[in-house]
Every structure is written in structure tokens, then in C-alpha cells.
Structure 1
Amino acid sequence: MYIKSTSLIEKDGFTEYCNTKTNFMNLDVGLLKLSKGEKFEFKACGREKAFDLLEGEIEIKINNDINLKFERASLFHDKPSVLLADKTFNIEITCLSEKSELIVQATHNEKEFGYKVWNKDDLEISISGQDQALGTCTRKVIQFFDYESFPESNMVMGEVICSPGQWASWPPHRHYQPEMYLFKFNKPEGFGVSFVGDDAIKVMNNDATCIPGQLLHPTVCAPGYIMWYCWMIPNLPNKPWVERSFDERYEWTSTNDVEISKMR
């Protein structure tokens, strides 16, 4: 399954991509776009919620009591700030810059763990794939939280940045849990290809792919463009995301022992 959402680029307000009532994802995911001075409130609603700032400067008010400020110049060149809050908190977002944009992820969670903030200095960038297939799978990965680092949450969230022509999620892998990728490109005509099982889907700005569990899902970026995506996974009951398995046909590409043409 995939969601083509390119038409959302200029739309202010909250746009829902999926929710726990209508599909298999077991996640609520949406994109919030605000202009200066605009506010948007998320009620507690019995769900934990994560907020990933993509661009702009915002003020976050938690239960009308705690105030936080996040700022991010560019999702391609600047690390994010992230808020995770349990089901008991109302969250109000106010835009302080000319515009701002956030990804909001939520799911059911009966645990009360308060709230947690990951500022830029708390998040590390790891470089993956530089020793795979002559460097054609090199990407930057920022993992915010998962079951191992924050087991109180029922969600996993992070970002990947692919340089021009690079592959991600390689070798092709699968896991029991579903996953969503939400894509951005550094130029409006930029694109990539997201594979979901045997389907190859062209993705552009604000497009998303919803990936059922157990399907392989590599991605690739077109030459000349930077591809960014946010990846989101639910930790299912008694089945948190702690491992993945690779397609054995392609595992050999995990090394640099690949053939190149020597034709003259």
C-alpha cells in the first residue's frame, strides 16, 4: 500500500496520512504545516504522541504548564528536535517563524511515562552502508527512539538522508511489524523509488509508503537529489521491533566484494 500526497505541499493545517481505525499500520501519522502565529492543539485522546520538527521555529506547550522551543533550519542539513509524550498530555504547537512543519506520530499506549525530549545534541548521526557495494548504499541515519532505547513507547521513529543516487534499507530487509516512510526531496522535481514487496513506487515530496509486515522495502534516490525520509514503526503487542531479516539473495552485497565492468 502507498499514499500519493504530493498535492499537500502548499496546504496549511494538519493532514492525516493514516490512522489506527482505517488501515493495518496501527499508527496515526500526519503532517502539520503552520504559518507564523498559528496554533494547533493535540488532545490527549489516550494515545502517546511523537513530534518531529522538520522546519521552522515553534513553541510547544504541554498541558498549559510546560513550554519548550524547537528550531530547525533545514531537514537536509540540520538535526531535529523531538518530543515524545504519553497519553495524559495535551500538546499545543505555536509557529514562531514564517512557517513551520512537523511530522506527528501516535498510537495506543496505556503506559504513563511522562514526556521526553531529544534535542539536537542528544541525537547522533550514524553513517551506514559506506562499506557496502562500493559505497552505493551510503546514508545518514538518526534513530530517535526504539524498544531498546525507550521500551516505554509503543513506537519507533527516525530519519534517513540519502545522497544522490544512493540506496537505503539495503540489503533488502523485512520485519514482522508494518512501517511507514514519509519522503522529502531537496528540489521540487526530485524523486526516488520505494519498493514494497514486488511493487516499485515513484515517490516525490510528501509522498508516503505504508509497508505491511514481512514485505521487503529498499529505497533508492534519483541522481542529483537528496532524499530524506522519516521512518515509523509500531511496536505490536508482544512483538516489538527488535530485529529484521535480510533477503538471502542479496546479503552478499553487504561487502565491497562486487564486480565492476572492465570493458574498454
Structure 2
Amino acid sequence: MLTQDILVRRPDGFQFGYNHITEIGKEKLPTGMTFGVIKLRAGESYNLTSDLESAYLLMTGRIRFSYDDQQYDAERTCYYSEVPIVLHCTPNTVAKVDAKTHCEIMVIQTANDKRFISQVFDASNMLESDKRGKGLLGDSSYRLVRTVFDKRNRKESNLVVGEIITFPGHWSSSPSHTHPHPEIYHYRFSEPQGYGIGENGEDIIRIRHYDTMIITDDVEHAHSTAPGYCLYTLWFIRHLSGNPYIVPTFKPEHSWAKEESANARVWKLCEGKSNEHN
């Protein structure tokens, strides 16, 4: 598989207005999801009304979401330390955003013939924020995983939306795992020269600031970040008809690495190898 099919690069970031990354029906690797970035200057507005199910995630800035005759004022200054704020709209919701300061909003969309009540998710009602991998294998895969919504709290949705904060020099989404559901990762680093490694099946790819990785066809995937650079990942998954995403699949030879017994196994194996040479 070609790297340019797996990875969408935006080395210079995004322009003001709407920036296309993927679009349903026009993808090299079909995910059934449209993904883009809205950047607005202070005082600008943008129409968010769409015939698709849509999640609008505030990256940075101070804004006002207007939807279904409701308003929600939101502000986010740091996506590493602050949880996401997401307006989740059923298709054809009349909605817009007004920028009070310069702002950036991630747009995640898919088809959905179900209807549900549009609402904002924030710290008060997002699904969970987990410290995963803590205490395992020297904290080498310790990361923060924020899940905004999935089938547990948004059963009518065809999407799962969340974020990951991966600490410098650590792995994330580890052990490498698979699922048949298409997924997209969007990456930001704590410094623009930051970089990491992304797994996509047998392809090992250097990931950089503003990169977007496309994951399809049940390939194994995970990623890591170089020492010194904290990695932010926006991740979202599309449910398949009759097969919603619940949990990923881990290959048996690697699944032990997520169990509490992993530390003891590593040192037992290392001690055994050392004894072989005595």
C-alpha cells in the first residue's frame, strides 16, 4: 500500500475557512467518513448545517455554537490539558459557529438515517477519560484516552469520537490491534518539529505535525512518539451496519502485554536470557 494513500500530510497546517482532508466517495481508501478542519478569524461565522451526522470538535479558541434554537459558549486553550468540547448533530440540524477569537474546529461526518437529539459534549457528560497502560512495562504505553461518545452513551450514532494524549517516548493504541471498522487518526505534536512512528499493517511510517492516517481493511495499527515530544491524536471510527465497534482485537502473541502480569513476564524472560550466557 502506498504511503500517500495511507497518510494525508499538511506540513504547513491549515488555511482560514474549510480545509478538506477526506470526503465520502472521493477517498483513495474508503472510510465512509468526511473529515476536515474549519479555521475562523475572530468575528467570523460558519454554517454547520449538513445532511450528514456531524461532530464538530473544538481544538482551540473561544466560540459560540448555535443549534436547534440553543446556544453554547465554549473555550479551549490547550488540547493537551483540557478535555474536548464537541457539538454532535443529527443530520439536517440547523447549526452554525460564531468565532469570538481565532479558532479551529475539527469536522467529522458520516451518513446516518437515524435521528437523535443534537447536543454538546463536554467535561460534564463525555463518556470517559482513562489513564491507560499506567504501571505496565515501565509505563511505556501509558497514555490518556478521552472517549467523547460511542454506543454506550450515543446508541443512535454511527461514529465513535475521542482523543489520545501520548507522553514523550511512549507508545499508544498498544498493543497493536485490529478491527474491521474504518478509523482515522489526526496528529499534532507539542512542538512543530516533533515526530513519531505509525504502524499501518506492515507499513511503518514517520508521522509528523498535522498528519492524518487512514486505517481500513482490518490492518493492525498503533503509534509512538519520539522522546521530548508529546503527541495529541484525534481518533474517530465509523460503525459498520450490524457490526458496531465495541472493542478491538489483539493478536494472541501480543495481548499479554496489556495484562497486569506483563511486568513479571518481561523480567523473567530477561533473567532467563542472561542465565543462558553464564
Q: Which residue of 2 aligns with 1:42?
A: 48
Q: Which residue of 2 aligns with 1:237?
A: 241
* Structure 2, unpaired ranges of 5+: none
2:252 is paired with a residue whose SS is coil
Per-residue displacement from partner, 1:167-222 (whole Å, max 9, x unpaired)? 01111110010110000111110111111001111111210100013100010011
Q: Which residue of 1 aligns with 2:252?
A: 248
Matched to 2:224, the amino acid is: V
Alignment of 1:94-243 (within 5 A): 94-97=98-101, 99-123=102-126, 124-243=128-247
2:245 is paired with a residue whose SS is coil
Q: 1:15 to 1:8 in 2, by over 3 A?
A: farther
Return the alpha-carbon distance in structure 2 between the equivalents of residues 165 and 35 of structure 1. Answer: 35
Q: Which residue of 2 aligns with 1:61?
A: 66
Q: CA RMSD in A?
A: 1.7
Answer whether contact 1:86 1:112 (CA < 8 A) is retained.
Answer: yes
2:79 to 75, 78, 88: 75
Per-residue displacement from partner, 1:25-55 (whole Å, max 9, x unpaired)? 111111111111111112322x110011111
Larger Rg belongs to = 2
Q: 1:232 to 1:143 in 2, by over 3 A?
A: same
Per-residue displacement from partner, 1:92-146 (whole Å, max 9, x unpaired)? 111111x211111011111110212212233342100113322100000110111
Q: How high is the sequence identity, in percent, across the aligned residues?
A: 27
Shift of 1:8: 4.5
Matched to 1:148, the amino acid is: R
Shift of 1:236: 1.3
- Using the size of structure 2 for normalisation, the TM-score is 0.88
Matched to 1:50, the amino acid is: A
Return the alpha-carbon distance in structure 1 between the equivalents of residues 11 and 38 of structure 2. Answer: 14
Matched to 1:36, the amino acid is: A
Return the alpha-carbon distance in structure 2 between the equivalents of residues 256 and 104 of structure 1. Answer: 40
- Using the size of structure 1 for normalisation, the TM-score is 0.93
